[in-house]
Structure 1
Amino acid sequence: MGKGMPRRRSASRILLVSSSQRLLLFKICYKTGAMAGRCYWATPGGGLRSGESFEAAAFRELYEETGFRTQSVGRCLAHKEFIWQMPDGERVLAVENYYVVRTAVEQCSTARWSAQEREVVCEIRWWAENELMASTEEILPSDLPILFAQALLISRPNDG
């Protein structure tokens, strides 16, 4: 049986940037399964539900993962498509849109986290741009420092 195209997994990811110009990242550490032993830093975000738009998923995921509600996720900062291995070992075509959201306060509520998120997220941290550039840990996507720099250049909504 030939290998067909992998299943598309659409997801929205959020660059949550504080007024101190720092970026919220979660450290993901897999203890079991196909990804066991793998650790990396990533932005909040997650897969689209059936019939959900990228924007709607960005709103929902931001709220579920950080407790933060926003007026607008703005326009898509970046669109990526790449092969990704899921924790259960399935290889999918990840289709991801990245959005920038500004927050005045550096806080993160884990109250609405799923059991899986509680299991794999081992650290929450706000990163300054220079810290992100200097880090030797794995950070996904690999060009996140560039995306973060672009996010910092975007004016706040309604600023013109």
Structure 2
Amino acid sequence: MRPAARAIILDDDDRILLVRFDFPEKEPVWATVGGGLEPGETHEQAVRRELLEEAGLEDVDLGAPVWRRTHVFELGVRWDGQDELYFLVRTTPFEPCPRHTWAQLNAEGVTAIRWWTPDEIEQSEELFAPRRLGELLQVLLREGPPAELLDVGM
């Protein structure tokens, strides 16, 4: 499994910033900003790097991870999936301005970035990761971060 770090970026209006991944012969999926750890990198370092590369967001306060997701899938020869830790990031509304170019993002499968409300996610026919993202967000917003790391499933 490839270790990965992801960010649940929520603005003051409780919208979440998601990126759309399009891979050949797979259904497009909307997911949180994040990705795999580089050699020698901690989860915290990785999520900060990904926030900058994919959203242009830096100097954020990170707490402990709130969610964990193990996702099994074919990822080339080296990995058979990802073990992801999700960090909550609260921010004021901003227009995403990735540090990576769109060519770099496209090479990683990223084709779009946008803000979503939990209701939009619940009503959408798009595919999200985790699959229960709308429901999980509603609980997170209502109850706050869990006392213990929550396994969010597929």
- The TM-score normalised by the length of structure 2 is 0.81
CA contact (8 A) 1:82 1:93 kept: yes
Amino acid at match of 1:66: A
CA contact (8 A) 2:5 2:86 kept: yes
- The TM-score normalised by the length of structure 1 is 0.78
Deviates more, 1:106-115 or 1:124-133: 106-115
Aligned ranges 1:134-145 → 2 under 5 Å: 134-145=123-134
User: Is 1:50 matched with 2:39?
Assistant: yes
User: Is 1:92 matched with 2:92?
Assistant: no
CA contact (8 A) 2:60 2:89 kept: no
Superposed CA deviations along residues 91-116 of structure 1, whole A, max 9, x for unmatched, are 51310001110110231112324744
Name which of 38, 51, 60 aligns with 1:62.
Answer: 51
Q: Return the alpha-carbon distance in structure 2 between the equivalents of residues 17 and 123 of structure 1.
A: 17
Overall identity of the aligned pairs, in %: 30
**Alignment-derived partner of residue 28 in structure 1:** 21
Q: Return the alpha-carbon distance in structure 1 between the equivalents of residues 78 and 42 of structure 2.
A: 23
Q: CA deviation at 1:65?
A: 0.9
**Alignment-derived partner of residue 70 in structure 2:** 81
SS state of the match for residue 151, structure 1?
helix
Q: Return the alpha-carbon distance in structure 2 between the equivalents of residues 29 and 144 of structure 1.
A: 18
- Which is greater in Rg? 1
**Alignment-derived partner of residue 90 in structure 2:** 102
The alignment covers a number of residue pairs equal to 143
CA contact (8 A) 1:100 1:151 kept: no
Q: Return the alpha-carbon distance in structure 1 between the equivalents of residues 129 and 19 of structure 2.
A: 10
Identify if the C-alpha distance between structure 1 residues 148 and 45 changes in structure 2 by more than 3 Å, giving closer, same or farther: same
Q: CA RMSD in A?
A: 2.1
Q: CA deviation at 1:73?
A: 1.6
Q: Return the alpha-carbon distance in structure 2 between the equivalents of residues 76 and 85 of structure 1.
A: 25
**Alignment-derived partner of residue 114 in structure 2:** 125
Superposed CA deviations along residues 61-100 of structure 1, whole A, max 9, x for unmatched, are 11111111133221111112231222x4765131000111
Q: Return the alpha-carbon distance in structure 1 between the equivalents of residues 113 and 53 of structure 2.
A: 15
User: Is 1:9 matched with 2:22?
Assistant: no
